[in-house]
Structure 1
Amino acid sequence: MSRKKVLWVVHYDDVNGFLESARQYGATGVAIHTDNDVRKAIDVFHAAGMAVYAWRRPSALRDPAMREAQGAVELFAHGLDGYYVGPEGAPGQATCDWDRPGLADLATSFCETVSSAANGRPFGVTSHYRAMAQHPHLPWAAFFAHATVLLPLACWRGAKGKVGHGDPADTYATSIRLWEAAGAEHDLIVPMAGELDKVTAAEITAYAAKATSEGVEDLHFYADRPSVKAAVRAAVRNA
């Protein structure tokens, strides 16, 4: 099985340092939060033979959301290989809470703008692995309608400890089941592993094995941080 391995990152101080980190993981591509200089990263990573994707949890307010969408359009014009949008719930925070009624039109406008600029390149959606069971009012259908890949964040351990049953294979399977229940097309679902600084090498191996058993070729890992153990980096490289 020929695998694409995408390493996600929230922030880095030096693009060349991040490139070296991505090489340590054996990544074939990186997903970079748009707070970073993605345009510069495209040049650096393309020269190294790696794909560059951008990602963002966009504002749930129209003007800043559409500014982000237009930024994605400009990055595609510069050679971006794909874009992932990450709507989440944030109770009481109108600027970033997508788990509210009445946001389907904004989701559609955002997705139409970005997916049109993608012009066949990947346009993905990522969010909580429990989908509607976690965020019942998030406009899932509007986001799914334009996606070419669906990336539930199937973490089994985070900053507060165990997520779900704390088992990579169980979380993987649960994410597929619940995203399908929210209307996702099965063949588009590619659950994402993480958080890399909270998991073990054995768990990364179990995640990759579950992907194989589900017939999923691509692997996504959230997220690169300096605190990720060398054994975990090696497990990602060997996955």
Structure 2
Amino acid sequence: MSRKKILWVVHCDDVNGFLESARQYGATGVAIHADNNVKKAIGVFHAAGMAVYGWRRPSALRDAAMREARQAVDLFAHGLDGYYVGPEGAPGQANWDWDRPGLAELATMFCETVCGAANGRPFGVTSHYRAMAKHPHLPWAAFFEHATVLLPQAWWCGGRGKAGHGNPAEHYALSIKLWEAAGGEHDLIVPMAGQLDKATAAEITAYAAKATSEGVEDLHFYADQPSVKPAVRAAVRKA
């Protein structure tokens, strides 16, 4: 199986340092939050033979959301290899809360703007692995209609400890089931792993094995932290 391994990061102040880290993981590409200097990263990582994707949790307010969409358009013009959008629910925070009725039109505008610039390059959607079971009013259909890859956050561990039973394979399978129930196309679903500094090497191996059993080629890991154990780095490299 020819496998892509994408390493996601929120903060990327040291592009060359992140490149070295990505090499240690055996990554084939990186997903960098759009607030960073992604244009610089594109040049650095492309020179090293790695793909660069942008990602963002978009605003749920029209002006801000479309400003973010135009930023993605500009990044595509500078060689971006793909873009991932991450709508979430945020009760009481209008700027971030996509789990409200009436936002399908804005979601469509955002996606059409970005996809027009992508010109066939990947456009992904990432969000909570429970999909409509967690955010019933989020405009899933509008986002899914434009997506070329669906990235449920099938995290079995994170900043608050274990999620559910803390079982990577169980979360992997459940995320597929719930994203299909929300209208996602099975063959587009690529569940993401959780925070590498909270995972064990055995869990990474189990995550990769479940992907193989589901016929999924790509692996996505979130995020790069200095405290990741060497055994976990090795497991990601081997996956």
Deviation at 1:12, TM superposition (A): 2.3
SS state at 1:27 partner: coil
Cα distance in 2 between the residues matched to 1:21 and 1:170: 29
Scaled by the length of structure 2, the TM-score of the pair is 0.99
Aligned partner letter, 1:31: A
Cα distance in 2 between the residues matched to 1:70 and 1:93: 23
Aligned to 2:74: 74
Cα distance in 1 between the residues matched to 2:93 and 2:55: 20
Deviation at 1:195, TM superposition (A): 1.3
Scaled by the length of structure 1, the TM-score of the pair is 0.99
Aligned partner letter, 2:64: P
Residue segments in structure 2 that go unaligned for 5+ positions in a row:
none
Cα distance in 2 between the residues matched to 1:224 and 1:212: 23
Deviation at 1:180, TM superposition (A): 0.1
Cα distance in 1 between the residues matched to 2:6 and 2:136: 28
Aligned to 1:127: 127
Calculate the aligned-residue CA RMSD, in Å. Answer: 0.6
Aligned partner letter, 1:142: A
Deviation at 1:13, TM superposition (A): 2.3
Residues 12 and 32 in structure 2, CA contact (< 8 A), matched pair in contact too:
no
Cα distance in 1 between the residues matched to 2:40 and 2:61: 28
Deviation at 1:159, TM superposition (A): 1.4
SS state at 1:12 partner: coil
Displacement over 4 Å in runs of 4+ = none
SS state at 1:194 partner: coil
Aligned to 1:206: 206
| 1:41 maps to 2:41 | yes
Aligned to 1:216: 216
Aligned partner letter, 2:125: V
Aligned partner letter, 2:166: G
> Which residues of 2 match residues 3-42 of structure 1 at below 5 A?
3-42=3-42
Aligned to 2:179: 179
Cα distance in 2 between the residues matched to 1:111 and 1:105: 10
Cα distance in 2 between the residues matched to 1:140 and 1:146: 11
Aligned to 1:110: 110
| 1:91 maps to 2:111 | no
SS state at 2:97 partner: coil
SS state at 1:84 partner: strand
Aligned to 1:151: 151
Cα distance in 2 between the residues matched to 1:62 and 1:82: 22
Identity of aligned residues (%): 85
Deviations 1:100-129 (A, max 9, x none): 111000000000000111000000000000
Deviation at 1:230, TM superposition (A): 1.4
Aligned partner letter, 1:170: E
Residue segments in structure 1 that go unaligned for 5+ positions in a row:
none
SS state at 2:64 partner: helix
| 1:231 maps to 2:238 | no
Cα distance in 2 between the residues matched to 1:42 and 1:168: 31
Deviation at 1:227, TM superposition (A): 1.7
Aligned to 1:57: 57
Number of aligned residues: 239
Deviations 1:20-43 (A, max 9, x none): 000010000000001110000000
